[in-house]
Amino acid sequence: MLPVTIGGESVKLAVITYKPDGNGPFPVLIFHHGSTGSGTDPKVFARPFDPFVLAHWFVARGWAVVLPSRRGRGGSEGLYDEGFAADRTEGYTCDETRTLAGAERALADIDAASAAILAWPFVDRTRFVVGGQSRGGILSVAWAAGWAGRHPDEPRGAINFVGGWSGTRCPTASAVNQRLFRMGATFPHHTLWLYGDRDLFYPLSHSSENFASFVAAGGRGTFHTFEPIGGAGIGHLIFRDDSLWSPTMDAYLAETGLPHERRE
């Protein structure tokens, strides 16, 4: 449990950490979770996000991986309040104002958690990357630019697995998602976008338009698509299958000048 202060509120955030043997300092990936589907089942809020396949991929290459849960999620204290309808039993809203306010709340959580994590003695502040899945992916791109603009120790990269904030069931999805992605357009380093076919939240056509908006605003990155094996919705879960993205991730880390070779 990681004690932080967010907007004057003192809370403890639940954190899962993977790291190699030894004291470090290690390069670190701070990786963020997504939503809870429709947001209508509070029992899901408490489930920790533990992408162990991805974590072990990085640890095998000498990285530490830190997985913080935002307020009210995965065992963290506080209220989970990331863009709900006025009646929370209805789950996430499509209202643009409430939705974006929820994203800003999530970004504040990431800011506080990152500052605390980067102070840990086994973390190499000069070699850190931010990433995430689904909502965590879009938050990572948006957050990286803001942090880099305010701190000397900026992330070396941002890894976006199937990122987006509002699913395309919402008529406001394009406006919300493109606005948040454009927040990351000033990030000075290359970003990696990884998307899968048959994603029920973010079809490839929608996500490619988000990427085009990001690039048009000055963002730097590459957009990769994958064909996972499975049925409807499998594209949203590509982070679980490193056979899909391992060569792409390896090349990205190498180009960024970060450790990428598997250790024996």
Q: Which two tokens stand for residue 39?
A: 């947001």
| pLDDT confidence tier of residue 211, bands split at 50, 70 and 90 | very high
Q: Please give the residue range of the domain that contains residue 187.
A: 2-256
Q: Does 201 map to a domain?
A: yes
Domain count, the chain: 1
Q: Measured between alpha carbons, how far is residue 246 from residues 59, 141, 225 in Å?
A: 13, 20, 13
| Per-residue model confidence as pLDDT tens digits over 162-185 | 999 999 999 999 999 999 999 999
Predicted TM-score (pTM) of the model is: 0.95
- Rounded to 5 degrees, φ, ψ at 55 are -60, -45
Please provide the average confidence, as pLDDT, over all residues in the chain.
95
Residue percentage of the chain with pLDDT more than 70: 100
pLDDT of residue 234: 94
Q: Does 263 map to a domain?
A: no
Q: Does 186 map to a domain?
A: yes
Contacts 24+ apart (CB under 8 A), 78-81: 78/6, 78/9, 78/11, 80/45, 81/105
| Per-residue model confidence as pLDDT tens digits over 77-86 | 999 999 999 9
Which is it for the CA torsion 242, 58, 116, 220, positive or negative? Answer: negative
Stretch 18-43: mean pLDDT, rounded? 93
Domain with 89 in it: what CATH number?
3.40.50.1820
Q: Does 238 map to a domain?
A: yes
Distance CA 92, CA 40 (A): 8
Minimal CA–CA distance to 252: which of 161, 181, 150? 161
